[in-house]
């Protein structure tokens, strides 16, 4: 697995494969931030743990099992309820133009908040790329069966990683709203339910309308509007950049 840090500039004019694991699971947010991006499918990053870090945003942290014995894992995932998802990260894959990548670098706070890395991910592509839907009337991507062996094997993908802030913490209120939108889209696209419930829900509470009022939270109007503004163009609240 390559863990080489990249420069802040896109490597070439060739579209970049980008692995999204945080609020960019929200297709609408990607359509706003990276207008020419295309959704390509789902991927799994092995030997990493998904957390919310001290900034209040998603991060991936290498686990102790990140060794040669766990690399090159293209086996189908164990989707049973007993499967341990703690050392793998699931995400959505987009193609980025050089312009989109530069815009994403700005939103991700490169190099102050995140740095760019090429990591090998098991890849389940859809039959044909689709633009992230911008309105409810747009066609939603097809659901992928991730219980099968990844047909595309492993591919190097761009992953934004915060190497400095790796301690689990609590999410920012507006980020909970955006992550819940991302969880909705990722679940519809085929990200395993066990991963969502066993990993993401440890940090991101279910909203009341999602969880039928069972202990969930509801975003206030002010929080929702701020979150939608953050989706369009991110403003850092942590003071890192």
Condensed to tens digits (0 to 9), the pLDDT of residues 190-205 reads 999 999 999 999 999 9
Can you give the pLDDT at residue 5? 67
Supply the angle between the helices 173-189 and 221-232 in degrees, to the nearest 10. 70
> What predicted TM-score, i.e. pTM, was given to this entire model?
0.88
Can you give the pLDDT at residue 168? 98
Can you give the pLDDT at residue 136? 83
CATH number (3.40.50.20, 2.40.30.10, 3.40.50.920, 3.10.490.10) of 16-232 reads 3.10.490.10
Can you give the pLDDT at residue 236? 95
| Series of mean pLDDT values for 10-residue runs along the chain (241 residues) | 59 87 98 98 99 99 67 60 92 98 98 98 98 91 97 98 98 98 98 98 85 50 94 94 93
> Residue 107 corresponds to which tokens in the numbers above?
């939103």
Can you give the pLDDT at residue 183? 99
> Residue 126, SS3?
strand
Can you give the pLDDT at residue 218? 56
Residue pointed to by tokens 């994403």: 104
Can you give the pLDDT at residue 29? 98
Q: Are 63 and 177 in contact (CB under 8 A)?
A: no
- Which residues are bridge partners to 120 per DSSP? 156
Can you give the pLDDT at residue 75? 63
Cα dist from 192 to 5, 89, 90, 157, 176, whole Å: 29, 11, 8, 20, 20
């Amino acid at each position: 697995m390559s863990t080489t840090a990249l420069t802040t500039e896109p490597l070439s004019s060739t579209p970049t494969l980008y692995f999204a694991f945080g609020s960019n699971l929200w297709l609408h947010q990607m359509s706003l931030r990276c207008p020419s991006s295309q959704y390509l499918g789902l991927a799994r990053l092995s030997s990493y743990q998904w957390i919310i870090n001290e900034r209040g945003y998603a991060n991936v942290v290498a686990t102790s099992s990140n060794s040669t014995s766990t690399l090159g894992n293209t086996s189908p995932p164990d989707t049973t309820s007993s499967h341990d998802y703690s050392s793998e990260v699931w995400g959505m894959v987009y193609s980025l133009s050089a312009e989109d990548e530069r815009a994403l670098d700005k939103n991700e706070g490169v190099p102050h908040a995140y740095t760019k890395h090429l990591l090998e991910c098991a890849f389940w592509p859809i039959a044909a790329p689709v633009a992230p839907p911008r309105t409810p009337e747009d066609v939603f991507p097809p659901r992928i069966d991730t219980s099968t062996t990844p047909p595309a094997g492993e591919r190097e993908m761009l992953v934004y990683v915060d190497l400095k802030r790796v301690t689990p913490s609590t999410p920012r209120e507006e980020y909970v709203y955006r992550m819940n939108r991302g969880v909705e889209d990722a679940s519809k696209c085929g990200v395993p339910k066990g991963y969502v419930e066993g990993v993401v829900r440890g940090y991101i509470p279910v909203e009341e309308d999602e969880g039928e009022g069972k202990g969930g939270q509801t975003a206030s109007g002010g929080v929702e509007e701020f979150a939608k503004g953050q989706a369009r163009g991110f403003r850092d609240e942590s003071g890192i950049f």
